[in-house]
Structure 1
Amino acid sequence: MLLQKKFTVDFLTKKQQINEGQVPQYYVENSHPAIITPEEFDFVQSEFQKRCVKPYSSTSIYATKIICGDCGSYFGAKVWHSNSKYRRVIYQCNSKFKGSHFCTTPHLYEPEIQEKFLQAFAQYFSQKDVVIKNCQFALTRLKKQESKKAELQDELVAVNEKLKDYIQHGGEDFDTLNAKYEELSAQLDAEETAESDRKCRIAKMQKILLTLKKTDSVLETFDESVWNAVLENLTVFHDGSLVFLFRDGMEVKV
């Protein structure tokens, strides 16, 4: 929370003015009890960013999860014979018939996707102890990575104060100060992106650990929550083979 974004200029009339440096501002963190964990929050923010730059549909758990091995496009749901008793829903490459190149990847049915996932998860689960150990190691390494965000923010504030002082009194070369400010701003943006990515990866590792620890045996039926928690994506190739990429980086071909 940023305090004193505005300040009162007349206590009798209660008139307020936007704070443009006239009075100090303060950041307050952890002032209220969290209703979700910070890791979950960071994970959701990462999803928001991902969905802004990639086409996304919330109509299916398979949306933006299945990738065409020919062109890299997502698979989408298509309805065959929608007005007859032969109505079927299939999943195929969204770009299969676009342009002059036709993708040769086959279409999939939902029961087929679920069955193949169960097979891949069985192989993945057979290495449960190794996966848990690797995730715990990755978590430790990610949490030890130090952020330069606070240091860059302090430098940025210092340069900004010099710019304000220049505007009022002159002094150092304005172009040099402004170039330094732009450089620090770019570095801070990059650091914030890296920190957001790091927090997202931490959230993914924690979600895998939680799912595997509460799963006692190989799945006998498809579980949507497990699909969402452990699977990054599924790539379909022209020969019909499927490669499941799990969130910790392990690949399983079925």
Structure 2
Amino acid sequence: MVFEKENINTATMNSEMILTVLSAFAQAESESISQNVARGKRMGYKHGKFAFPYGRIIGYRKGADGKPEIIPEQAEIIRLIFNSYLQGDSLQSIKAKLETAGALTARGNTAWSAQSIQRILQNEKYCGDVLLQKTFTEDVLTGVHKKNTGQLPQYYIENYHEGIVSKQMFREVQAEIARRNSKSAANQRKRRRGRYNSKYALSERLFCGDCGSPYKRMTWNIHGRKQIVWRCVNRIEYGTKFCGSSPSIPEEELHRAILKAVQGLAANFTDEVAAQINGILHNIQTGESTKPNLQEQLEQTQQEFDRLLEMSLDFDEDTPFLDDRLKKLNNKIKSLKKAIEDSAARQEKANQPEMLLSAKDLQIQEYDDALTARIIEKITVRSRNEIEIRFIGGYKKTMQLT
């Protein structure tokens, strides 16, 4: 092959060598340009400069001031997704809701995916914050993006724009995602039931006191009469091999026991119980006194991080020591921000009692699946006649089945 412009003939050894050298120079130049661009972006991230991804996110458009502006009709879609998830809906049921309503995705499609809904639920932009450098390009030649799990520093900008959902709701959704992901299978060796089942509030909340496995909702047909019962998954799949004495519990009895427990809780809603149910496990005064100290630590750590980052940009080669130190400082910054945020959240709850659960919320006359999903953490079947209910915050109550 002959390249006339470069006067290179690949049939000769000398030309092959020249071609190899030129290719190496071209590759080196490409890598250098890519590194400079990446370095420029990181410097921009450091100072809060970035391009908001309007084309890949619903709910926002560019406002007159250059900042993200909420699109009201699209914001309702986001609120529907967050509220439905907290009420116990699975990703698939939320997907069905959106498609039935004719809601459009960021690309203008009517077909949604569970993955896109999950990304929305985990996107901090919907509570008004921005996390920069979530991904990075490891190899400029392949151009493949990888998730940044600590390889490079990340930058978190709080209150960058108006949030569609509150920070409290966003935190609750992240906790619910973690709770669902943490569910293990009934048989630990095969791990066949790791998926979250959200159709009923008792799914993933009702557990066997004998083997610890979840209970499953079933319909029995006895002489033409249907009865809904809950049974231990281990007992269903393996008989008495792994679970020897778990009882089957009629759903009506479970509902009656839970209703009585909630009503009893409303009648005895003391300050201590209220604090447990609402998850206020730390003294607010302690949170207030530690916040200034945490803020001071954050500022000092951020200054050290900025100083090392600028120092690292002066080196043309990799600096493992600085990179390692930057990672540790970045993790410390995130930890301090989380501690400050938790302290502020506790104070916010204390200043806004209407956000807390009250005795009035518990004064129900019939079983409420949504309330069960909201306030009950776990129910353990102790015997055919007894269950133990653990509410959020750790408050427990033993109930008889009738």
2:257 equivalent to 1:116: yes
- CA distance in structure 2 between the aligned counterparts of 1:101 and 1:88, rounded to whole angstroms: 25
Is the CA contact 2:387–2:398 (under 8 Å) kept in the aligned structure 1? yes
Is the CA contact 1:230–1:246 (under 8 Å) kept in the aligned structure 2? yes
CA drift of 1:51 comes to: 2.0
Match of residue 129 from structure 1: 270
CA drift of 1:226 comes to: 2.6
Match of residue 62 from structure 1: 202
Is the CA contact 1:42–1:203 (under 8 Å) kept in the aligned structure 2? no
The 10-residue stretch of structure 1 (228-237 or 93-102) with the greater mean CA deviation from structure 2? 93-102
Given the superposition, is the C-alpha separation of residues 116 and 101 from structure 1 closer, same or farther in structure 2, using an over 3 Å criterion?
same
- CA distance in structure 1 between the aligned counterparts of 2:355 and 2:175, rounded to whole angstroms: 19
State the identity as a percent.
Answer: 20
- CA distance in structure 2 between the aligned counterparts of 1:53 and 1:78, rounded to whole angstroms: 24
The 10-residue stretch of structure 1 (194-203 or 22-31) with the greater mean CA deviation from structure 2? 194-203
Is the CA contact 1:69–1:105 (under 8 Å) kept in the aligned structure 2? yes
Partner of 2:270: helix, strand, or coil?
helix
Choose 1 or 2 for highest CA Rg: 2
Q: Please, which of 230, 244, 250 is the counterpart of residue 91 of structure 1?
A: 230
- CA distance in structure 2 between the aligned counterparts of 1:119 and 1:160, rounded to whole angstroms: 59
CA drift of 1:39 comes to: 0.9
Q: Please, which of 231, 239, 243 is the counterpart of residue 102 of structure 1?
A: 243
- CA distance in structure 1 between the aligned counterparts of 2:341 and 2:234, rounded to whole angstroms: 31
- Name the aligned partner's letter for residue 172 of structure 2: F
Given the superposition, is the C-alpha separation of residues 50 and 163 from structure 1 closer, same or farther in structure 2, using an over 3 Å criterion?
farther
Is the CA contact 2:298–2:337 (under 8 Å) kept in the aligned structure 1? no
CA drift of 1:40 comes to: 1.4
2:360 equivalent to 1:214: yes
Q: Please, which of 380, 388, 393 is the counterpart of residue 243 of structure 1?
A: 388
- Name the aligned partner's letter for residue 357 of structure 2: T
Is the CA contact 1:92–1:106 (under 8 Å) kept in the aligned structure 2? yes
- CA distance in structure 2 between the aligned counterparts of 1:109 and 1:153, rounded to whole angstroms: 57
Partner of 1:88: helix, strand, or coil?
strand
- Name the aligned partner's letter for residue 163 of structure 1: S
Partner of 1:233: helix, strand, or coil?
strand
Is the CA contact 1:163–1:177 (under 8 Å) kept in the aligned structure 2? yes
- Name the aligned partner's letter for residue 89 of structure 1: I
Is the CA contact 1:233–1:245 (under 8 Å) kept in the aligned structure 2? yes
- Name the aligned partner's letter for residue 360 of structure 2: K
- CA distance in structure 1 between the aligned counterparts of 2:354 and 2:246, rounded to whole angstroms: 30
Is the CA contact 1:66–1:235 (under 8 Å) kept in the aligned structure 2? yes
Instruction: Calculate the TM-score normalised by the size of structure 2.
Output: 0.47
Alignment root-mean-square deviation, CA:
4.1
Structure 1 runs (4+) deviating above 6 angstroms are: 192-209
Map Cα deviations across residues 158-210 of structure 1 (whole Å, 9 max, x no partner).
Answer: 43333333x3389xxx4433432343355456667777888999999989964
Given the superposition, is the C-alpha separation of residues 237 and 103 from structure 1 closer, same or farther in structure 2, using an over 3 Å criterion?
farther
Task: Give structure 1 stretches of 5+ with no counterpart.
Answer: 1-16
The alignment covers a number of residue pairs equal to 232
Instruction: Calculate the TM-score normalised by the size of structure 1.
Output: 0.69
Given the superposition, is the C-alpha separation of residues 210 and 187 from structure 1 closer, same or farther in structure 2, using an over 3 Å criterion?
closer
User: Higher relative CO (CA 8 A, sep ≥ 6), structure 1 or 2?
Assistant: 1
Is the CA contact 1:39–1:203 (under 8 Å) kept in the aligned structure 2? no
